[in-house]
Structure 1
């Protein structure tokens, strides 16, 4: 198990140490990342389908999109395929290299940058949409307000953010992990465990989930308004894969979740949260 120095530091030092930890882990797993996420079970399939519907159905050709924490391009690439003008930002050079390879294979282009979400290398008002899926949980807690402020800054007036994060409220009910079981959330330790890696080592990265209240407050603090909050897998996360392997059951669960996922309080009880927030037009 890879470990890191945990001696007391200033908050700024702690945040930088956590970012270094994230860089180190993703440098090691970049080449195998796409094999690890998503998982291969029917729960994973429902989860991923909901993610794609929520994000990709909103992206229009010619739209200027910034994908923060873009990783290997899990959403950067399909957004480019839809004709959007996509930029991708990530801490990990190794993950960006994987994304660049996918783009080349498909004869697509995107502006990929290595950088920190808390200090984005883009001018004010550069984008119509900012996206982030399964990445903000690696943020040091101290950086959260700065990142949401940066999102507001780089969006044009009337622009929006679309994001997906693990739900801290769900974790109060269930601390297990149903998604990509080789990468397991340790809720108590606030860490993501990368197990069964090609190297044979396990790796740890900081991982902080968000409650619905966290997200509403962070967006409000940045001058943005949450306009949609959807729960991803409010029902499927409680069902065994053996049950969901029945195609008729999976189809029924999918229909129910499309309905329940948008309705309070069920939208706050999803395994993950999918959120749309808007910057004022003036």
Structure 2
């Protein structure tokens, strides 16, 4: 998750980031990633959530760190890493601010449609930080959902009840602002009657490619079940 969002909803749904469905998704994802990852490669997982992909990539031979702002998710990631005896390091920080260094990583990844949390003006800075952190010839893999399709789905007049960690959560679409390309979602935790309003930013594949072009070369886009996995190479 990115730093402009309230942390609460991410921690409320923390169990979904460690569920069997997540492992199944990773297993389907990996064959598309293999050519961009060699044993011993240094990798950074941006907006890593509870670390499911981070730990999986370590098992494939990566030397990897995961970064996420939500403390509940990072706590789960560290707990699972300890349980497995993994070496992956998990850092609780904003990916928009954390110093990634220069020319360190062979591969950067960001999954879970995390780009939705990035305000449009902050994206170029994020892109440049990833570019600087990668070695020459390194790759950046970014998973995203078509933002316009997501808005069309979310705006249907209904409330969606999901099971959180310790309570049901009601998710409600509040509105779409075409002027700044955002939509708002309200999350209501029934057990404590907490309500949190989140702003999500609409991104679509062509827009992401346009934003990436000054620094990265587009390699390919791989359609997944409900999203796309775009691969970029450092110019």
What corresponds to 1:33 in structure 2?
Answer: 14
Aligned pair in 2 of structure 1 residues 181, 54: CA closer, same or farther (>3 Å)? farther
- TM-score for both structures, normalised by structure 2: 0.77
What corresponds to 2:136 in structure 1?
Answer: 157
| Structure with larger RCO (C-alpha < 8 A, sep 6+) | 1
What corresponds to 1:219 in structure 2?
Answer: 212
Question: 1:51, CA displacement in angstroms?
Answer: 3.6
**Over residues 30-64 of structure 1, what are the superposed CA-to-partner deviations in whole Å (9 max), with x where a residue is unaligned?**
xx512377696xxx998665444434674332111
Q: Please state if 1:22 is matched with 2:15.
A: no
Match runs of 1:104-143 below 5 Å: 104-134=82-112, 135-143=114-122
Quote the RMSD (CA, aligned, Å).
Answer: 3.3
What corresponds to 1:96 in structure 2?
Answer: 74
Between structure 1 and structure 2, the one with the greater Rg is 1
Aligned pair in 2 of structure 1 residues 106, 45: CA closer, same or farther (>3 Å)? closer
What corresponds to 1:254 in structure 2?
Answer: none
**Over residues 124-145 of structure 1, what are the superposed CA-to-partner deviations in whole Å (9 max), with x where a residue is unaligned?**
0110000000222111222111
Q: Please state if 1:229 is matched with 2:215.
A: no
Aligned pair in 2 of structure 1 residues 61, 220: CA closer, same or farther (>3 Å)? same
Gaps of 5+ in 2: 163-168, 177-181
Q: Distance in 2 between matches of 1:92 and 1:159?
A: 27
What corresponds to 2:62 in structure 1?
Answer: 84
Q: Distance in 2 between matches of 1:38 and 1:207?
A: 24
Q: Matched residue pairs, number?
A: 217
Question: 1:163, CA displacement in angstroms?
Answer: 1.3
| Structure (1/2) with the larger strand percentage | 2
What corresponds to 1:255 in structure 2?
Answer: none
**Over residues 234-280 of structure 1, what are the superposed CA-to-partner deviations in whole Å (9 max), with x where a residue is unaligned?**
xxxxxxxxxxxxxxxxxxxxxxxxxxxxxxxxxxxxx4221000002
Q: Distance in 2 between matches of 1:84 and 1:90?
A: 18
Q: Distance in 2 between matches of 1:219 and 1:173?
A: 25
Q: Please state if 1:275 is matched with 2:221.
A: no
Q: Distance in 2 between matches of 1:53 and 1:169?
A: 28
